[in-house]
Amino acid sequence: MPHYHTLGTIPHKRHTQFRKPDGTLYSEQLFSTEGFNSDSSLLYHCHPPTKIIKTEAQYSVAPKIAEEKMLRHRSFEGFKVKPAADYLESRKPILVNNDCHISLAAPQQSMTDYFYKNADADELLFVHEGSGKLLTQYGELQFAYGDYLIIPRGSIYQLQFDNDNNRLFIVESFSPIRFPKRYLSNYGQLLENSPYCERDIRAPEHLVTIDQTGDFIIKTKKRGMMYHIHYGHHPFDVIGWDGCCYPFAFSIHDFEPITGRVHQPPPVHQTFDAHNFVVCSFVPRLYDYHLQSIPAPYNHSNIDSDELLYYVDGDFMSRKNVTRGMLTLHPGGIPHGPHPGAVEKSIGAKETKELAVMVDTFHPLQLTVDALDIENEGYVMSWAE
């Protein structure tokens, strides 16, 4: 999905001899999430990236499903997920289906003694609180409040946090995360009508080649199981790379809202696209400017999708009692809309300061045990007040 990028030193032609100063060959690796028929990158390692020296017994990290089928509106207090020191231990799956897993995390410590690889899913990490660096074989990505980090499946990474106060909203996608097609030209350039452009996409930088031997653990998740695989060389031993498949960052603050004379439908907020779900960004914007406009969203049926909204910051005129980190789930099959009084209250308002991330899934989501632990009971009756 990102455009061509390169860092470090690479040979003039791909798949040709590329030698170190001592005359031995660098080891070329093609990286792609869809075989040889889609975007890829070529990485040049100091050592072959295949030297496994030890493995450990695998263990299950599959989400524990509490409710497989449901038809009522739900609400969850995301900040009730307790902080945990370790990054992987802190990740709590909340809502899942066969297309994506949605988790919350509050890690307190950087990843220092292991690396992580999700062999099943592209990952979208939305940074609600905290800052730091995403370290990968491709280089470094600085991140801060409001950043989306997109990590292709199979990427090896570490998160380095600046402090112990971090909150992440995580979407694991079992299909590639892409830019919506309607934003792209026939040749892949972001069009003028897109709410962001290539200048807003941040590619890795500061490639550091770590040529070390030893015992390096890559914790790898595959089909709900975690494997600890020990390698004999540091995975960040890349001297250079080029291509179109690599992690990147995009800030929600760089999303340019699309507005109109009357209320615009949710697709104008779409930011990313995947198989059977989309990700949208709700950002501060001017309200509709027709003299008779109603800024509050109209009731809609949600027959074909589950709508999950993650509230980040600001005021939300269509909802009562919204807190930072709250999630609302409005399942497909029943209509939903503004809370009582919100429509009249919105008339005459000129702008909103809201900030939120929405995930619309076209197959139903299932609740996990961790979701029940943070649920706001009685939300389904909040329209009767």
Mean pLDDT score, 216-240: 97
Is 166 within a domain?
A: no
Closest CA relative to residue 232, chosen from 246, 218, 250: 218
φ/ψ of 40, rounded to 5, equals -150, 170
> How confident is the prediction for the chain on average, in pLDDT?
93
Q: pLDDT of 4-35, one tens digit each?
A: 999 999 999 999 999 999 999 999 999 999 88
323 CB-near residues (< 8 Å, 6+ apart): 77, 79, 311
Give the pLDDT confidence of 255-280 residue by residue, as tens digits: 999 888 898 888 899 999 999 999 99
Does some domain include residue 302? yes
Taking only the tens place, the pLDDT of each residue in 140-152 is 999 999 999 999 9
In a domain, residue 131? The reply is no
- Give the pLDDT confidence score for residue 291 in this predicted structure: 86
Is 233 an active-site residue?
no
| Residue 293 forms part of a structural domain | yes
> Using an 8 Å Cβ cutoff, are 364 and 306 in contact?
yes
Confirm whether pTM is higher than 0.75.
yes
Express as a percent the part of the chain with pLDDT over 70: 98
Res 298: pLDDT: 83
* Residues placed in the known binding site: 300, 306, 336
Query: Which residues have CB under 8 Å from 255's CB, separation 6+?
Result: 195, 196, 271, 281, 283
Q: Is residue 145 part of a domain?
A: no
Q: Work out whether strand 270-274 and strand 248-251 pair parallel, antiparallel, or are unpaired.
A: unpaired
Q: How far apart are CA 364 and CA 96, in angstroms?
A: 9
CA trace torsion 246, 247, 252, 257 (10° rounding): 10
- Here the CATH number for the domain that contains residue 290 is 2.60.120.10
Per-residue pLDDT for 54 more than 70? yes
Structure-token pair, residue 2: 């990102």
Segment 343-348 shows an average pLDDT of: 82
pLDDT band at 385 (very low <50, low <70, confident <90, very high): low
* Distance between start and end Cα atoms, the chain: 46
**Binding-site residues for homogentisate:** 336
DSSP 23-37: SPBPEEEEEESSTTS
Q: Which of 6, 20, 81 is nearest to 373 (CA)?
A: 81
Domain count along the chain:
1
**pLDDT surpassing 70 at residue 318:** no
Known binding positions for Fe cation: 300, 306, 336
| Domain range for 330 | 253-384
Residue 173 lies in a domain: no
Which of 263, 269, 290, 330 is catalytic? The answer is 263
The one-letter amino acid code at 71 reads: L
